[in-house]
Amino acid sequence: MKYESVRGMRDILPGEIGYWKQVEEKVREVATCFHYGEIRLPLMEHTEIFSRGIGEETDVVNKEMYTFLDKKNRSLTLRPEATASVVRAYLEHGLHIREPFQKLFYIGPMFRYEKPQKGRSRQFHQYGVEAIGSLDPTLDVDVISFAWTLMDMLGLSDLSLRLNTIGCAEDRQRYKKALSGYFAIHIDEMCTDCQRRYDSNPLRILDCKKSQCQPYIQQAPASIDYLCADCARHFAEVKGYLDELGLNYGIDARLIRGLDYYTRTVFELISKDLGAQDALLGGGRYDGLVELLGGPATPAVGFAGGMERLILVLQEKNRSFGQEKRLDLFLATLGEEGRLLALTLAQGLRSQGISVDLDYRGRSLRKQLGYADQIGVRYLIILGENEVSSRKGRIKNMGRGQEYEIALTADAIARIVHGSKHGD
């Protein structure tokens, strides 16, 4: 008998493992720069975690999950994605009680029953981040900046962001009603999947890629036209912060992502290096998922990307990568202008391999300083009104207690941090 691997589940051989190790190391390096902690999850969960969390009417739950009964007749599922599992772990281990704000990342295999093709397998691997516990639009931008920095440090070029917002739960209901009215006069000409989705969740129609449905989808109402004032303001602030960081984006009014838990900001990071299938990764907010799985109302945002497709691109480019691991600098902020300066400095410093974090919860300066001391950060800078106006400040070596006056530019700060690293 000839034994072969299960269709869609491939071996990763020694000749290519170097790319996998390099990408995993770079994900961990960037996670360190952005101060995300690693979480490792089990390969299977109780089926309800996914059917309830992802949505009964999604293609993932309807068509793609590997589900089976164990010896006690309990329904278990090999994880098709990680966000629902992260939220389950967040609640099960009491993280929502001990420290509700968590910045987490993961790397690992997922499983979906779909047609195997180039860069897509039935056992595939994802890397991703989940930032849980804040509705602040700067956290949306932090997650997007993480994704952008990772691709940039991997050597991928011609990056841009496909961006949209689908609003809160109330906005989505208004939008669904508008879509139902619009598609009602076209649905008979559309595919059978779209006809099924029309009855269960008309938002899912926008995911259809079939050519016969595209003319109707392209003319469908846009979610951005059905936002409440809070969601509209949130999206405007996200765009404003992206503009400040110089991250190129375009609004895609039909982008909703494929899972039901998404709310407000949704995005995909795209690259011309991938041709027609240009999405490197995607994500967005899921402000209702923690509550849906039994926890308190807790906002969250994250993204996930496929390792296989990313490695295919890197193999074609023959890239190699380095490694950094430490939290070097905390930027304590006072006021909106201080936070905006911190975002700009952090972006420049992270691109130079320096790990930086800042406050995303509007905490007092005293609490920010206490937090910096608690985590053992190497350097600290306070950014307030005087520092913003003068573009000068003081950087403190937390280990030695020494302070230095410094110009508030990424290059000036980097010289001190890098110099201290080499001096140590």
Per-residue pLDDT reduced to its tens digit, 219-247? 888 889 999 999 999 999 999 999 999 99
pLDDT for the residue numbered 262 = 87
Distance CA 270, CA 24 (A): 20
Q: Which CATH number fits domain 329-423: 3.30.160.20, 3.90.1150.10, 3.40.50.620, 3.40.50.800?
A: 3.40.50.800
Cβ distance 118 to 312 under 8 Å? yes
Pairing of strands 329-333, 379-383: parallel
Q: Which CATH number fits domain 14-168+228-317: 3.30.930.10, 3.30.70.1560, 1.10.530.10, 3.40.50.300?
A: 3.30.930.10
The token duo for 382 is 């306070």
Cβ distance 286 to 177 under 8 Å? no
pTM metric for this prediction: 0.83
Indicate the domain borders of the chain.
Answer: 14-168+228-317, 171-223, 329-423
List the beta bridge partners of residue 330: 357, 380
Q: List strands edge to edge, sheet with 402-407.
A: 356-358, 329-333, 379-383, 392-397, 402-407
- Give which of 188, 183, 250, 248 is closest to 218, Cα–Cα: 183
pLDDT for the residue numbered 275 = 59
Cβ distance 363 to 100 under 8 Å? no
List the beta bridge partners of residue 131: 103, 301
Q: With DSSP H G I counted as helix, E B as strand and the rest as coil, what are the percentages for the chain, rounded to 5?
A: 45, 20, 35
pLDDT for the residue numbered 44 = 95
Mean pLDDT across 82-98:
96
pLDDT for the residue numbered 56 = 67
366: Cβ contacts below 8 Å, ≥ 6 apart: none
pLDDT digits (tens, 9 = 90+) for 120-165: 789 999 999 999 999 999 999 999 999 999 998 888 877 889 999 9
Q: What is the tally of helices (H) and strands (E) in the chain?
A: 16, 16
Mean pLDDT across 190-213:
85
The token duo for 294 is 């039994």
For 366-371, the CB contacts below 8 A with 24+ separation are 368/330, 368/332, 368/333, 369/332, 371/330
List the beta bridge partners of residue 105: 38, 129
